[in-house]
Amino acid sequence: MALICFWTLVVFYALAIFADLISPYSYKDEDRDFSYCPPTAVEFMDHGQWVQPFVYGRALTFDSTHRRVYVIDQAQKYPMRFFKGGRLFTVDAPGRVYLWGADARGRDLFSRIWYGARISLSIGLIGVAISFILGLLIGGIAGYYGGWVDGALMRVCEMFMMIPGFYLMLALRAAVPENFNSVQIYFSVVVILALIGWASLARIIRGMALSLRERDYVLAAKTLGVPDIVIILKHILPQTISYSMATLMLTVSSYILAEAGLSVVGLGIQDPIPSWGNLLSDAMGIVPVIFAPWILLPGLFIFLAVMCFNVVGDALRDAFDPMFNEGAS
Amino acid sequence: MRQNKLFFVFLIFLFIFRAHFAHASPSRYGGSLVLSIPSDPKTFNDIVSTDAYSGAITGMLFEGLTTADPFTLKVIPNLARSWEVSPDGLQWTFHLRRDVQWFDGTAFSADDVVFTYNDLIYNPEIPSPSKDVLTIDGKPFKVEKVDGYTVRFTLPVKFAPFLRSMAQTILPRHCLWQAVKVKRFSFTWGIDTPPDQIIGTGPFMLSEYHPGERLVFKRNPHYWKRSSQGEALPYLDRVIYLIMQDPQAQLLKFMDGEIDATPVRGSDYPLLKPMEAKKDFKIYEAGAGYDSNFVTFNQNPGVNSQNHRSFVDHVKLSWFTNLEFRRAVAHAIDKKRIIEILDNGFGLPQNGPMSPSSGFFYDPDVTIYDYNLDKARLILIQAGFKYRQGDQTLEDPSGHPVEFNLYTADTGTAGREQMAAIIRSDLERLGMKVNLVPVEFNTLVNKLMASFDWDMVMIGLTGGVEPHFGQNVWLSSGGLHLWDPHQITPATDWEKRLDEIYDEGAQELDENKRKILYDEFQRIVADQLPVIYTVLNMDMYAVRNKFGNLKPTVNGGAFHNIEEIYIKK
Amino acid sequence: MIKHIIQRFCSTILLLLAVSFFTFWLMHSTPGNFFDSLRLNPQISQETVARYEKLYHLNDHLLVQYGHWIFNILHGEWGYSFYYNVPVTHVLGSRLFNTFILSFTSLVLTWAAAIPLGIWAALRRNQWVDRVLSVFSFAAFSTPSFFLAVLVLYAASRWGALPLGGMHSPHYDDMSFIDKIKDTALHLVIPASVLSLSAMASLQRIMRGNMLGVLRQQYILAARAKGLPERVVIYRHALRNAFNPLVTLLGYEFASLLSGAALIEIVCSWPGLGSLLLTAVRAKDIYLVMSATLLAGVLLVIGNVLADILLTWVDPRIRYEKK
């Protein structure tokens, strides 16, 4: 099970990296003739014969209750073009291919989900990286030195853990100037995420460091006069990595959820840059859910990515736990 | 003998007659109406309030001497039962109703009228938006008490919209004169005032207010209006406003039966229309609304008195004050698609300050800017802007890249945030870098009215039938002259001309001559583009069928005659 | 035990001070001339602005300002909300209570569901019940709560039996006390159950893990060898020992529920501290943001202290250790 999840994640990241290639359109590419267009089926048969895949033309009409109805025009056929303009597949204008439907402004959801994957998946990783470095350093130092250093640093940790995550996120977000552009907002969100999560990581590392410092080889190194910081970096921390990996996976999943939460209330990544969270904010209403259910797909992706990280993390923890327990006796 | 027989027949007739009536009209009294409002009111003080939500609330509590018939749009008596005007048109004498009581039982009299005008509206220390509308050429009206129920208004010059302006609400002297005396009136009747202290004459009085949750109004037992059958009004016991910031939540609450009426946006229509039969309500389409939607650029050259910085960075100011720049932006507003995407086809493109629903004064012959990005680019290039090689960023003649912020308020109205997102993406195609900054509605109002630190704003204003009442917006000295308010002398020739038009228009009693003036006003606005209009929404309301006497209009919404509304048994 | 409580209390106070300072510093690093724009707002009297400037010593050094802020807070003066145009305390009180109700109900729901399910899964280890619950758990705590809330709201709108958002019906004020409770309870169903779902999932797995761990212990083997009925073995011996460590989690549970509640409040229009904070952040209502964040921290700390006390009471080892 964990292996399936691991490979799923690899696929997600790969697709995200290659979003430019696999997406037929840029994330900004609007076509207002196709607002909320349902997914366009790719046709393989024409009058009972196999042909090169194509997409029918569609026209927007409104029915008597002003509901959008897309009428398929079988006279208009747009053949799929492969590897044209650096894109794996696309169609010639004015045809549009919407594998997973379009949003309100006619932007392709398939493309936006993969561009959005770049943001959502990377934010989780970078945020975790920062949290991890912070956690390692502070936890490692606290655990190794013990005593008042430990006490003080742990109090700082507790302080961060004392403010409920979402509140802390909102408060931190309030401190961000209102006219930041999208790049600056991205980094602010990363920093905010990192700040809410480092504390629990630090505690775990500290716990491990506390027990590890009693080990023979550490005592030996100390006797030999190796400087403390080298001991921490070369001897203690590497031992913590394996167990930390599990926690890291779990933290990435919580960061992905946190970014989604922030974007959904409009305080995260801003339009037009897609992130799975702000894609979902379009779906937060009865009307889109009923009339354009494909708009909920980003939620599925968040769910899948988070679940995969959780399963992998859980498996890692199971794998390393007994080993760790053995060592600690 | 015959007399007895006749009498007997008469008695039987009477009996049948009475019995008939006893079954014919069951009591209409009782019940409550639950509505929703997107934002808390900022104050209950009708004189100083500047936003539409506070106004909606105080509209239930206070009344004016006159009001407008919601169907014919003509002025009809309200607190004043009749009036006369002198032959020169300058002296108006109002005879007040004698049966009106304030909520606390005190009798309404001429003292209240005089107090409201002389001590509140014309008081230099009270920031009242009405002051400007009720002042012509810098001169106020002279308001005098003739006797307990008679008030005389003497105008400095003829004033065409005078009678209509007498819809100005009247506040009670006996409650407020002390606050005025100690110069605390502007802060009285704020939202933390105990509800029973807000005293008006309207059909309902404030019973409870839970901030962020709901307002509850209860029937005014002393209300003076009577139904056509002579019954005391209002019929309803209570009106409850739920405060719902999220329009989705509002829609859900209508669907689950907690709210009795909801404004219907075009995008909600396909969802609600098929439910009409099953959920027992009806959608009323009242027509194109009065509320405008527009974007505007900050052309304010002033300086913040506290930190001595200009309100607008001077580089940006050079773009915003450039008419060609604004014209290019006007060609980038995709009105047709906005209507299609946001409102499923309901709505009209808006090209000028008045709406077709305004009737007589509406002028459709104004310059229309078609959605044409190529034309927009051409205009920019001809104005000296350049496109940078490579990324096609737009640069002004001095080489600065064009970048600015677009502020918008996300309080559930008209999908303004989505509209702003569409406009932003078109401006981006023109090479401009626009940062969309959503803020709270009240914060936006504060920026526009007090701190002036904004670049471009998407917002709307309520409109109406009488163009003069937009005075605060169009006079260069007006507080709602958003792009450059409170000017001491008009900054441009066309603003000077608007000042003149507003002055003349107010004093011209011939309707046709007025129309010529206001037509010119609409054309100037469309040519000079201090604001760039986007779309007019269709006013639609969904109301449960259990309410009787519903007569929705664009003018008043679904409940302008709230005192007549009753619940059918 | 008393000594332990006092120790805890002292470190709690220190923690709160640290949290408050952090929040304070954060707010003051916000660029912007907050008071400048206030001064220009005609609906806020100059006196109010002047009063708050004086109260908070805005022109002094940051630490001095902080000191005054804390001093004021302790005296019940929590600042002014310029968005609502009332002192902060007027808005915080009821909102705090609402969030508390939501979090507490979710806590109860979580525990009431997770404990039995965890035991069940442990007892039926690797059978289909366990596997189903395992998949369900992972799914539940991977789903973004706000997303689930929207879906649930949509489903409920089709069903028609539950109120869709908010906390009270419009006619709440007229209801009898019992009816008020019922009304609030109905409104709680959707937000509380969505909120508990993911907490329930993780707690269930932990309970299962603990239970399995305890069942492997020697004394269980001994009890079985003694011939005690299985039910007694499980419920009298295993359960209590499996359960105790969970109490340590109570604090963290409460923290994550409180945090998760904020987003649910926003989606379900529940008038609590979280939705208040969102409005305050959007409106840049500084004192309201600081106060709401601080209050959330205080609520959490109190929750943790209570959990600690509960643990001390429940776990005899700690009590005896202290002696």
Q: Does the pLDDT of residue B19 top 50, yes or no?
A: no
CA gap B559, A63 in Å, rounded: 30
CATH classification at residue A171: 1.10.3720.10
Place of tokens 């038009």: B501
- Which residues in B lie closer than 8 A to residue A182 (C-beta atoms)? 435
Q: Average pLDDT in the A60-72 region? A: 90
The alpha-carbon radius of gyration of chain A (Å, integer) is: 25
- Structural domains counted in chain A: 2
Q: Average pLDDT in the A89-113 region? A: 89
- Which residues in A lie closer than 8 A to residue B266 (C-beta atoms)? 66
Q: Is residue A11 part of a domain?
A: no
> Residue A280 is part of which domain span?
110-328
Interface test with C, best of A170, A256, A286, A318 (most C CBs within 10 A): A170
Q: Do B439 and C283 touch (CB under 8 A)?
A: yes
Q: State residue B529's pLDDT score.
A: 94
Q: Do A296 and A205 sit in the same domain of this protein?
A: yes
Domain boundary among A97, A119, A146: A97
Q: State residue C166's pLDDT score.
A: 80
CA distance A308 to chain C (A): 9
Q: Over the stretch B201-235, which tens digit does the pLDDT of each residue have? A: 999 999 998 877 889 999 999 999 998 888 888 99
- Which residues in C lie closer than 8 A to residue A168 (C-beta atoms)? 293
Q: Does the pLDDT of residue A323 top 50, yes or no?
A: no
Q: Average pLDDT in the B421-440 region? A: 89
**What are the distances in angstroms from CA B272 to CA A66, B103, B241?**
11, 39, 21
CA gap B332, B309 in Å, rounded: 31
Q: State residue A135's pLDDT score.
A: 85
**Is this complex's ipTM strictly greater than 0.90?**
no
Name the pairing type of β-strands B66-68 and B75-77. antiparallel
Q: Do C271 and B259 touch (CB under 8 A)?
A: no
Q: State residue B24's pLDDT score.
A: 45
Q: Over the stretch B447-504, which tens digit does the pLDDT of each residue have? A: 888 788 899 999 888 778 888 888 888 988 887 889 998 888 898 999 999 999 988 8
Please name the member of B268, B274, B341 whose beta carbon is closest to the beta carbon of A32.
B341
Q: Do A83 and A155 sit in the same domain of this protein?
A: no
Q: Do C165 and B253 touch (CB under 8 A)?
A: yes
CA gap A20, A26 in Å, rounded: 7
Q: State residue B320's pLDDT score.
A: 94
Q: Does the pLDDT of residue A329 top 50, yes or no?
A: no
Q: State residue A325's pLDDT score.
A: 40
Domain boundary among A54, A75, A97: A97
Percent of chain C with pLDDT over 70: 86
CA gap A259, A263 in Å, rounded: 6
Q: State residue B74's pLDDT score.
A: 87
Task: Between A284 and B50, name the one with better pLDDT.
Answer: A284
Q: Do A182 and A230 sit in the same domain of this protein?
A: yes
Please name the member of C138, C150, C256 whose beta carbon is closest to the beta carbon of A284.
C150
CA gap B266, B252 in Å, rounded: 16
Please tell me if residue B135 touches chain C, with a CB cutoff of 8 Å: no
* Confidence category of residue C323, pLDDT binned at 50, 70, 90: very low
Q: Do A58 and A120 sit in the same domain of this protein?
A: no
Q: State residue B292's pLDDT score.
A: 85
Q: Do C26 and A173 touch (CB under 8 A)?
A: no
Q: Is residue A16 part of a domain?
A: no
Q: Do A165 and A312 sit in the same domain of this protein?
A: yes
Q: Average pLDDT in the B505-521 region? A: 91
Q: Over the stretch B365-414, which tens digit does the pLDDT of each residue have? A: 999 999 999 999 999 999 999 998 888 889 999 989 999 999 988 655 55
Q: Does the pLDDT of residue B1 top 90, yes or no?
A: no
Q: Does the pLDDT of residue B514 top 70, yes or no?
A: yes
- At B13, which amino acid appears? F
Domain boundary among A97, A121, A146: A97
Q: Over the stretch B107-144, which tens digit does the pLDDT of each residue have? A: 999 999 999 999 999 988 888 878 877 888 778 999 99
Q: Do A61 and A162 sit in the same domain of this protein?
A: no
Q: Do A167 and A242 sit in the same domain of this protein?
A: yes
Which subunits sit against A, judged by 3+ Cβ pairs under 8 A?
A: B, C
Q: Average pLDDT in the A126-150 region? A: 83
Q: Is residue A87 part of a domain?
A: yes
Q: Which H or E element spans position A59?
A: strand A49-62
Rounded to 5°, angle at Cα B145 from B140 and B149: 125
Q: Does the pLDDT of residue A82 top 90, yes or no?
A: no
Q: What is the mean pLDDT of chain B?
A: 87
* Confidence category of residue C317, pLDDT binned at 50, 70, 90: low
Q: In the A/C pair of chains, how many CB contacts fall below 8 A?
A: 140
- Which residues in C lie closer than 8 A to residue A286 (C-beta atoms)? 153-154, 157
Of B116-120, B562-566, C12-16, the range with the lowest mean pLDDT is C12-16
Q: Could you tell me if C303 and C255 are in contact, meaning their C-beta atoms sit under 8 angstroms apart?
A: yes
Q: Is residue A13 part of a domain?
A: no
Q: Over the stretch B312-344, which tens digit does the pLDDT of each residue have? A: 888 999 999 999 999 999 999 999 999 999 889
- Quote the tokens at residue C227: 């011939």
* Confidence category of residue C65, pLDDT binned at 50, 70, 90: confident
Q: Is residue A55 part of a domain?
A: yes
Which C positions 5-64 lie with beta carbon below 8 A of chain A? 11, 14-16, 18-19, 22-23, 26-27, 29-32
Q: Does the pLDDT of residue C223 top 80, yes or no?
A: no
Q: Over the stretch C280-309, which tens digit does the pLDDT of each residue have? A: 877 777 778 888 888 887 777 777 777 777
Number of C-alpha atoms within 13 angstroms, CB side, residue B463? 25
Q: State residue B532's pLDDT score.
A: 95
Q: Average pLDDT in the A302-328 region? A: 72
Which of B546, B532, B541 has the alpha carbon at shortest distance from B559?
B541
Of B212-226, B499-513, C212-226, the range with the lowest mean pLDDT is C212-226
Percent of chain B with pLDDT over 90: 49
CA gap A320, A239 in Å, rounded: 11
DSSP alpha helix (H) spans, chain C: 2-28, 34-39, 46-56, 62-74, 88-123, 128-142, 145-159, 177-215, 218-225, 230-232, 239-267, 273-282, 286-314, 316-322
Interface test with B, best of A25, A60, A105, A280 (most B CBs within 10 A): A105
Q: Do A78 and A120 sit in the same domain of this protein?
A: no
Which B positions 440-479 lie with beta carbon below 8 A of chain C? 440, 442-443, 446-447, 449-451, 453
Q: Do A269 and A320 sit in the same domain of this protein?
A: yes
Q: State residue B217's pLDDT score.
A: 94
Q: Do A190 and A239 sit in the same domain of this protein?
A: yes
CA gap B370, B326 in Å, rounded: 14
Query: Which residues, other chains included, contact B527 with Cβ-Cβ below 8 Å and sequence gap of 6+?
Result: B366, B367, B494
Interface test with B, best of A70, A179, A185 (most B CBs within 10 A): A179
Please tell me if residue C143 touches chain A, with a CB cutoff of 8 Å: yes
Q: Is residue A28 part of a domain?
A: no
**What are the distances in angstroms from CA B401 to CA A92, B388, B394, B398?**
33, 9, 6, 9
Q: Do C23 and A161 touch (CB under 8 A)?
A: no
Which of A25, A181, A207 has the alpha carbon at shortest distance from A103?
A25
Q: State residue B8's pLDDT score.
A: 54
Q: Over the stretch A264-275, which tens digit does the pLDDT of each residue have? A: 887 788 878 899
Q: Does the pLDDT of residue C253 top 50, yes or no?
A: yes
Q: Over the stretch A190-211, which tens digit does the pLDDT of each residue have? A: 888 888 788 878 887 887 777 7
Check whether the bond before B438 is cis (ω within 30° of 0): no
Q: Is residue A33 part of a domain?
A: no
Q: Do A286 and B337 touch (CB under 8 A)?
A: no
Q: State residue A327's pLDDT score.
A: 34
- Quote the tokens at residue B284: 């009323």
Q: Which residue of A has its CA nearest to B255?
A: A286
- Going by the DSSP 8-state scheme, the letter that residue A272 receives in this structure is T
Please name the member of B48, B256, B450 whose beta carbon is closest to the beta carbon of C37.
B450
* Confidence category of residue B23, pLDDT binned at 50, 70, 90: very low
* Confidence category of residue C4, pLDDT binned at 50, 70, 90: low
CA distance A266 to chain B (A): 8
* Confidence category of residue B178, pLDDT binned at 50, 70, 90: very high
Q: State residue C1's pLDDT score.
A: 60
Read off φ and ψ for residue B402, nearest 5 degrees.
-80, 110
Q: Over the stretch C98-154, which tens digit does the pLDDT of each residue have? A: 888 898 899 889 988 888 888 888 887 778 888 888 888 888 888 888 888 888 888
3 state SS of B203 = coil
Q: Do A284 and C260 touch (CB under 8 A)?
A: no
Please tell me if residue C142 touches chain A, with a CB cutoff of 8 Å: yes
Q: Do C296 and A161 touch (CB under 8 A)?
A: no
Q: Does the pLDDT of residue B14 top 70, yes or no?
A: no
Q: Do A163 and C293 touch (CB under 8 A)?
A: yes
Q: Does the pLDDT of residue C32 top 70, yes or no?
A: no
Residue C255 CA, chain-centre distance (Å), reads 5
Q: Do A263 and A127 sit in the same domain of this protein?
A: yes
CA distance C47 to chain B (A): 10
Beta strands in B230-352 (DSSP E): 238-243, 261-263, 281-288, 294-297, 348-349
CA distance C35 to chain B (A): 10
Q: State residue C322's pLDDT score.
A: 46
Q: State residue A321's pLDDT score.
A: 61
Q: Do A254 and A179 sit in the same domain of this protein?
A: yes
Q: State residue A313's pLDDT score.
A: 84
CA gap C190, C199 in Å, rounded: 15
Q: State residue B42's pLDDT score.
A: 79
- At A272, which amino acid appears? P
Q: State residue A322's pLDDT score.
A: 54
Q: Could you tell me if A37 and A70 are in contact, meaning their C-beta atoms sit under 8 angstroms apart?
A: yes
- Going by the DSSP 8-state scheme, the letter that residue B413 receives in this structure is S
What pairs with residue B145 in β-bridges?
A: B151
Q: Is residue A54 part of a domain?
A: yes
